[in-house]
Structure 1
Amino acid sequence: MLRRPFLSAVGACSGLGIASALGLSSVDSVRATQDDEETDWEAAADERIEEHRTADLEVRVVDRNGDPIDGADVDVTMTEHDYGFGTAVNAGTLIEESEPGDEYREHIPELFNKAVMENQHKWRFFEDDPDLADEATEWVLDQDLELRGHACLWASVDSAAVPEDVVSAMGREWDDGGVTDPEEDPEHVLERATEHIETIMEHYGDDITEWDVVNEAVNEPGFIRTIDDVTRGFEGPTLAEWYQLADDIGSEHGVGIDVNDYNVLVGPNTGTRQFYQDQIEFLLEEDVDLDGVGLQCHFSRGNTLEPDQVMDGLDLYADYDADIRITEFDTEGGSWDDEEKGEYLHMFLKTVFSHPATTDFVMWGFWDGRHWYDDAPLFYEDWEPKPGYEYYTNLVFDEWWTDEDGQTDSGVYETQAFHGEYELTASYEGEDASTTATITDDDTIELELDNEAGEDSIPGFGVSAALAGLAGLAGYAWLRDGDAETA
């Protein structure tokens, strides 16, 4: 079944609305009622997506003599996006033997190519149960997913992310953690935090793609204020030293280092945005090689943005020579219904994907059963899909997904391909060949078949290399339609 009919069928079966039951996706029905202004934003986003997220692909098919084969069958099959589409995951659910755990594990590699631990890589959680952190990390990597590191340090005491001895040394009481008689000790905070950055980054090495080194330094500056006794903790000298340390370790392992904070895109909260820019510029002035700027994006109805506001906000961070990542997207609260949340996901995801400086879109959970507000974008607690599921899958695995086939004309088949991983096959008169390729720019791929083109061939094709001896397709690395397929 083709991907679009497949997804529409899923929508009909899951009760996502009359439009789906009639063979129309809810996305189609919404678009049918959009006014001209909404259509304008989407048309502009589609133009940017075509410019920045697709490439012209040319597949040349030649015979054993290097002559082009006219009329050869060619299949261009996408297996994975270059762009990161991810989710936060709960470590305990990942490894528990249970029915919810089974569903959870099934959906993650089907829907995403990137993940981040919701809690288990945070300081106190990691120190309290490193085995759980390691088991969950291993599971994610075994699914061939990229894994973000979140976070080396986060000074949020009330979120239970800080070890008890460090809470006490910050001079903070924490009844839930048994810290009732704290004694401030800035040197202890500095020593423990510096040691932990080195410990966790070295422990995971290149298993992690990038680390949030000091999470929420603007909104949770407790460590820096304790150590440096400064008001603007996001510009404290210790912050620069920690990022320089992380930069050195990351360079050894090929791991990126990021900043990450909230209220830096949503709102718009202009004051927090300015503080965040100040932090980024401070780190750059301290010769920190920053790889990513993380924008958390927890939306309620009251802090949503229009498409032009999203673009303007992203533009604020686009000049720092760092990747922009949406790191913690969700839409929560009872003041808007799930269809409205799904429509917002559609608009926001498409607008973000269209911005050339963005590289990742990560949800802060996808299932109500493991979501900090019990209000995730894609699934209810009973695993029934929400409207957001259809909006998400229609974009990521249909509108932005390339599965094309056709025949060569004078030995050449041309198509437009979304950036990603591909399996390419060619066949002619019982002979076939295949290869894999990463397409992120205009490219030409050549396949050689072990036969002769015949009288209608066009000699002198300029073949410089041949990819012979490849037979059959490797199994899909990241399937969208459910069941594994092989050639």
Structure 2
Amino acid sequence: MKNNISFLLLTFMMLFMWLVAGAQQAEVDKDIAKYRKGELIVKAKRGEKVTIEQLSHEFWFGCAISNGFIDGSMSADDRRQYEEKFLKNFNSAVTENAVKWLSMERQQGQVNYATVDGMLAWTEKNNIPLRGHNLFWGIHKFVQPWLVEMNDEELRRTLQNRAETITKRYQGRFAEYDLNNEMVHGNFYEERLGPEITKQMAQWAHNGDPTAKLYLNDYDILTGNKLPEYMAQIRKLLAQGVPLAGIGVQGHLHTDTFDRGELKRALDSLAIFKLPIRITEFNMPGQRSKYHRDKILTMTPEEEALKAKEMIDYYKICFAHPAVEGILMWGFWEGANWIPVSSLYKRDWSPTPAAVAYENLIFKTWWTKSSSAVGRSGTLSIPAFFGKYKVTVNGKSQEVALDKKVGKVVADFTK
């Protein structure tokens, strides 16, 4: 009798959890339809056949670019595969290490611009917007010793030179920059030069490029652990008049799963600032998983399936949120990823189940493709994901952009 009761209770709990998950998924799908789709209108003669093909998303589905892809340290075959797979899967990018000051100028006065130049040349050739990560990074272990040894005045001049030189050299080429990375967790520059230094960094960056978009970027925010501190920091910087263009939140401080409620709560909380939010550094599984902690390099089929599910759920919650404008993986291939098992592709370039799930989500579920005839009104209207489209009527084509800010676009074939 006791066993029967236990079985019934377990069955009830599982059914309840399944119903809750189903309700949450329905809400996510509803929000995606509400916030990620607009109206694509085609004007043509009655009865004419219309084909609508999505070419790209407005939302950023991006990834970090490894230095090895640019600096020659990657084999020719891997570089070919890396380029092919990147262009197949991503529409935006971020510099993984190339712009970091420690990477560019380990020895004072010896600045490596070549990797950044090469990365920008490649992304511009392929029409991929690129984030510059990062102008400054005040975590103590990432500050070069030669900077620490400077007196305050010399340090201030050197910071100004760094900001102005980088933004002037690359004026208008980076889509945005992370201004001073991970300030919640450490800020050598503020400790040395006072609480106004972040505003001065922003001003110096704008001296070099007045149009530069400057983002914050930090970790352990989407878990909720450091959300209050980040919120307080954003309020303080805005009150100081720091020209923030957006909020960056990293996505790799979870384990092999994540807290759906905390992710949604964090995004809702950050949205009050009315600034664009980007998920800047995503890995699944994350930094607190056994895979990173114990350097585990393989997964069982069951673990691969869980990884794919968790990744898809994370993307869905972020895509459904109206304040989020993009999500960027922090590596997609085991040969160039700090958490290798979080990759879409194995070392030999074979796809993981997560790669298949990702492609199905972005390029099938979240992809608009339609073929129909114009009705008697001479107008065809369909809901479509924000992005670029090719519209064809009787062999004639137009390319149009369905912009989230506008909400609708018209392709007119009557003129």
Normalized against structure 2, the TM-score is what? 0.86
C-alpha deviations, 1:241-276, integer Å up to 9, x for none?
2123335655x33x311000011112x30xx21121
C-alpha deviations, 1:192-235, integer Å up to 9, x for none?
1121011111111111011101011111211211222xxxxxxx
**Paired position in structure 1 for 2:373:** 407
**Paired position in structure 2 for 1:461:** none
**Paired position in structure 1 for 2:279:** 326
Residue 235 (structure 2) pairs with residue 257 (structure 1)? no
C-alpha deviations, 1:50-85, integer Å up to 9, x for none?
011001222011xxxxxxx22111111111100011
1:286 is matched with which residue: 207, 219, 240?
A: 240
Secondary structure of 2:271's counterpart equals coil
**Paired position in structure 2 for 1:178:** none
**Paired position in structure 2 for 1:274:** 228
**Contact 1:247-1:288 at 8 Å conserved across structures:** no
Residue 338 (structure 2) pairs with residue 372 (structure 1)? yes
**Paired position in structure 1 for 2:3:** none
Secondary structure of 1:422's counterpart equals strand
**Paired position in structure 1 for 2:126:** 143
**Paired position in structure 1 for 2:12:** none
**Paired position in structure 1 for 2:58:** 82
**Paired position in structure 1 for 2:320:** 354
**Contact 1:299-1:331 at 8 Å conserved across structures:** no
C-alpha deviations, 1:16-49, integer Å up to 9, x for none?
xxxxxxxxxxxxxxxxxx9222111111011001
C-alpha deviations, 1:307-331, integer Å up to 9, x for none?
x322111011101121011000002
Amino acid at match of 1:372: W
Secondary structure of 1:148's counterpart equals strand
Amino acid at match of 2:392: T
- Aligned mates of 2:338, 2:157 — CA distance in 1: 32
- Aligned mates of 2:36, 2:19 — CA distance in 1: 25
2:70 is matched with which residue: 94, 97, 103?
A: 94
2:90 is matched with which residue: 87, 107, 112?
A: 112
Residue 208 (structure 2) pairs with residue 245 (structure 1)? no
Amino acid at match of 2:97: N
1:434 is matched with which residue: 394, 397, 410?
A: 397
2:349 is matched with which residue: 364, 376, 383?
A: 383
User: How much does 1:107 deviate?
Assistant: 0.9
Aligned residue pairs total 376
**Contact 2:36-2:386 at 8 Å conserved across structures:** yes
**Paired position in structure 1 for 2:24:** 41
- Aligned mates of 2:179, 2:311 — CA distance in 1: 28
Structure 2 portions without partners, runs of 5+? 1-16, 106-110, 292-298
User: How much does 1:302 deviate?
Assistant: 7.0
2:388 is matched with which residue: 421, 426, 432?
A: 421
> Taking every aligned residue pair, what percent have the same amino acid on both sides?
27
- Aligned mates of 1:360, 1:78 — CA distance in 2: 18
C-alpha deviations, 1:164-183, integer Å up to 9, x for none?
411433xxxxxxxxxxxxxx
Secondary structure of 2:307's counterpart equals helix
User: How much does 1:380 deviate?
Assistant: 1.4
Amino acid at match of 1:434: S
- Aligned mates of 1:287, 1:249 — CA distance in 2: 19
More moved, 212-221 vs 123-132: 123-132
User: How much does 1:418 deviate?
Assistant: 0.4
Secondary structure of 2:344's counterpart equals coil
- Aligned mates of 1:265, 1:248 — CA distance in 2: 33
- Aligned mates of 2:208, 2:52 — CA distance in 1: 39
Normalized against structure 1, the TM-score is what? 0.74
Residue 312 (structure 2) pairs with residue 339 (structure 1)? no
- Aligned mates of 1:82, 1:204 — CA distance in 2: 23
Amino acid at match of 2:397: S
**Paired position in structure 1 for 2:249:** 295
**Taking structure 1 as reference, are residues 94 and 108 closer, same or farther at Cα in structure 2, changes over 3 Å only?**
farther
- Aligned mates of 1:344, 1:189 — CA distance in 2: 44
**Contact 1:95-1:101 at 8 Å conserved across structures:** no
C-alpha deviations, 1:426-476, integer Å up to 9, x for none?
00xxxx32211111212332113xxxxxxxxxxxxxxxxx2xxxxxxxxxx
- Aligned mates of 2:66, 2:175 — CA distance in 1: 18
User: How much does 1:190 deviate?
Assistant: 1.9
C-alpha deviations, 1:347-378, integer Å up to 9, x for none?
11000000000001011111111011223331
- Aligned mates of 1:409, 1:55 — CA distance in 2: 20
- Aligned mates of 1:243, 1:207 — CA distance in 2: 17
**Contact 2:38-2:385 at 8 Å conserved across structures:** yes
**Contact 1:94-1:105 at 8 Å conserved across structures:** no
Secondary structure of 1:438's counterpart equals strand
